[in-house]
Structure 1
Amino acid sequence: MKFAHRTRGIVGAIAVVMSLALPLMLTLSSAAEARIGGRSSMGSRGARTFSAPPKTNTAPSAAQPFNRTITQPGTAATGAAGAGAAAKGGMFTRPGMGMRGGRAAGFLGAGLLGMLFGGGMFSGLGGLSSIIGLILQIGLIVIVARLAMSWWQRRKQGAASPAYANNAAGPATGPAPSQQAGFGSGFGFGSNAPAAAPLEIGPADYEKFEQLLGEIQAAWSDEDIGKLHELATPEMVSYFSADLAENKKNNDINKVSDVKLLQGDLAEAWREGETDYASVAMRFSLIDKTLERGTNRLVDGSETPIEATEVWTFARRRGSDWELSAIQQTGDEQA
């Protein structure tokens, strides 16, 4: 009897430790994804935030939906001028709460359910079968919640613009073929977009996009928030600031160097009111390493260059310069 009671106590303790350790493990695993953007998708693409940019030769895989955005389904962000609302939105818990927060909420919710049903925070963990039952319940809750959220987002967006189902946000184009040649190994701009362009993107714009790629990476590496404010929308700067603060909390510093554009394609370009948008697929190489703050001890990464393929969206108010408005990951990552 005492042995059985002791066994139940040990199993219960293990279950408690696992429930507390898993979120921490997930946090640590994501900490290695340290380069600017954290290898997640963030920002806003105006009215096309929930519409996938067209695939290109540079990024033949579909761009991933946004993990963090201030844009609500069925509404349009106001671009470079109106994105200042991000700075007022705190941690953007809806919909930008992120996977980390969702997992933590799942574990907390499981404990709260146990309390509501009168069994205590960790009730029912006295035996192995109860642990398995708890895991199954958590899995079912996660599945049901994700299905409900997906249904709600599709319902809010309406049939005209399903999230990442097709590019139904209207005509979007890149430059005419005569504008696409002569950019060497950098921006080739072989776009899949139609040739008839309501918004013309010229060589000077392409040069600016390549310049921003390097300058933003350098400002991130220097942790220069002031410089980032000059190069990106307030929404994007708010995400970068939060990520840099997390690095400082972990006593880490992410250093990015030798950023070189290898290939670029214009996915689409369009105008919304006074704001122009251009989504560009870029494949670039860089050295990405994370160091211990103060000692420069290597924590993650190496001196070996890696390649990344991302879709960057730039926005500008009429008469202003281009700013980074969004970063989306693709399935074309290369080590």
Structure 2
Amino acid sequence: MRRRARLLAAFAALSLALGPAIAEARPGGGFSSGSRGSRSYSPPPTTRTAPETATPFNRTEAPRGNPGATNPGFQPRPSPSYTTPNRGGMFGGGFMSGLMGGLLGAGIAGMLFGHGAFGGMSGGAGFLGFLLQLALIAGIVWLVLRVIRSRRAEAPGMPAMAGPGPRGAVPNAYAREMDGNTMGGAGGQAATRPLQVGEADFAAFGNSLVAINQAWSAGDVAALRRLSTPEMARYFEGDLRDLAARGWRNQTSDVRLEAGDLAEAWSENGTDYATVAMRFSLVDVTRDAAGSVVEGNPNARQTTTEIWTFARRPGEPWILSAIQQTK
């Protein structure tokens, strides 16, 4: 019985360490993605709906060294050139993945054959010793993840594996960019002017929230391209491919906008932008090819708050330009 318990626990630890890691499977995948024109590296103002600062972009095509660049999110690029962030495992890839995989493999093998995780405990140490070994491995996993995420948070332009980094890294990342990205100054920065947003605009934002979730759930790439900028459409397509590679499908349903308010709205280079905070609830479920639930609960609603930026050119409807997470 004890050997069977060890076997089950060991396989659980192996699955946790080496299995694919997806932060959240809903549209946007829990990442901060897209661009906000020349304000892409400046945090949007906080609002009553989202009192915490939005996290910097993990995925963006906005040029870092050229604040005056025009509408990067609208630039068409061939889909094959797009690569999604690596979500292949908890440790990412390369040397760190091999090192940690080997370390965990050796530890688990030791548990199974009664020699201890690292050879320091005999098989007779008992179940308590086994639990201590498992806790030690979990601690190492946590420490390595903390270091990896801290380093990625220091480079906002670099794709992150599981969304925002540590809480302390977010404001610093924004502060570094705000100094050289203040609106209205010289140096080739884009000239902006305030934009008035009315009830019809807010209705369009709410409708877009529902429509994008419907298109995502149906895997309707054509609709996602119509409802978002080319940049955001590429991210959506990449995320859908990641899910399909696992044989998974994410579906969101009964999307309800619970609260929302405007963070800022402006015009630049012939494009209008509006950044809005939205708190919404939905049923979010991911199933495998057999129809079994792998994430979420089909009988429970989830509530989340995100910062969505919409863009509009003259005579055209609002489309999604960015999704940002809050702390």
Per the normalisation by structure 2, the TM-score is 0.66
> How far apart, CA to CA, are the structure 2 residues paired with 1:61 and 1:148?
17
* Kept after mapping to 2: 8 A contact 1:67/1:98: no
Which of these residues, 89, 98, 107, is aligned with residue 96 of structure 2?
107
Q: Is the 8 A contact 1:86 1:238 kept in 2?
A: no
Query: Where does 1:179-194 land on structure 2 (aligned, <5 Å)?
Result: none
Aligned to 2:239: 243
For residue 146 of structure 1, what is the amino acid of its counterpart? R
Compared CA separation, residues 243 and 152, structure 1 to 2 (3 A): closer
Q: CA deviation at 1:72?
A: 2.9
User: Equivalent residues in 2 for 1:1-335 (5 A)?
Assistant: 24-25=18-19, 27-28=20-21, 30=22, 33-76=24-67, 78-79=70-71, 82-85=74-77, 87=79, 89-91=81-83, 103-107=92-96, 146=151, 150=155, 163-165=173-175, 169-170=182-183, 198-293=194-289, 295-302=290-297, 303-331=299-327
Asked whether the equivalents of residues 37 and 72 of structure 2 are also in contact (C-alpha less than 8 Å), the reply is no
1:98/1:276 CA distance change after superposition, 3 Å: farther
Equivalent-residue separation in structure 2 for 1:285 and 1:41 (angstroms):
19
Structure 2 gap segments, 5+ residues each: 1-10, 101-117, 121-136, 159-171, 185-192
SS at 2:174 equivalent:
coil
Determine if contact 2:62/2:72 at 8 Å carries over to the other structure: no
Displaced runs of 4 or more, over 4 A: 20-23, 96-102, 108-111, 142-145, 147-153
SS at the partner of 1:245? helix
Q: Distance in 2 between matches of 1:63 and 1:104?
A: 28
**Shift of the alpha carbon at 1:100?**
6.1
Aligned to 2:129: none
Shift of 1:250: 1.1
Q: Which residue of 2 aligns with 1:189?
A: none
TM-score (norm 1): 0.65
**In 2, Cα distance between equivalents of 1:326 and 1:145:** 23
Determine the C-alpha separation between the residues in 2 that align with 1:230 and 1:144.
Answer: 33
Q: CA deviation at 1:226?
A: 0.7
Distance of aligned partners of 1:47 and 1:87 in 2 relative to their CA distance in 1, 3 Å threshold: farther
Q: Distance in 2 between matches of 1:52 and 1:99?
A: 30
User: Offset at 1:78?
Assistant: 3.6
Report the CA distance shift for 1:272/1:97 in structure 2 as closer, same or farther (over 3 A).
Answer: farther
**Deviations 1:312-334, CA, capped at 9 Å, x for gaps:** 01111222111101111113xxx
* Partner SS, residue 300 of structure 1: strand
Distance 1:100 1:273, change over 3 A: farther
What percent of counterpart residues are identical? 44
Q: CA deviation at 1:80?
A: 7.4
Q: Deviations over 1:92-151 (max 9, x none)?
A: 6xxx6689698313526979xxxxxxxxxxxxxx998xxx9xx8xx96xx6799399559
Aligned AA for 1:83? Q
What is the aligned residue count?
259
Query: RMSD value over aligned CA atoms?
Result: 3.9
Amino acid at match of 1:305: R
- In 1, Cα distance between equivalents of 2:222 and 2:15: 37
Separation of aligned partners in 2, 1:56 and 1:151: 23
Q: Distance between the aligned counterparts of 2:264 and 2:195, measured in 1?
A: 9
Q: Is the 8 A contact 1:80 1:317 kept in 2?
A: no
Tell me how far 1:57 sits from its aligned partner: 0.2
Q: 1-side partners of 2:58 and 2:295: how far apart? A: 23
Distance 1:146 1:291 in 2: 32
Q: What amino acid does structure 2 have at the position aligned with 1:43? A: G
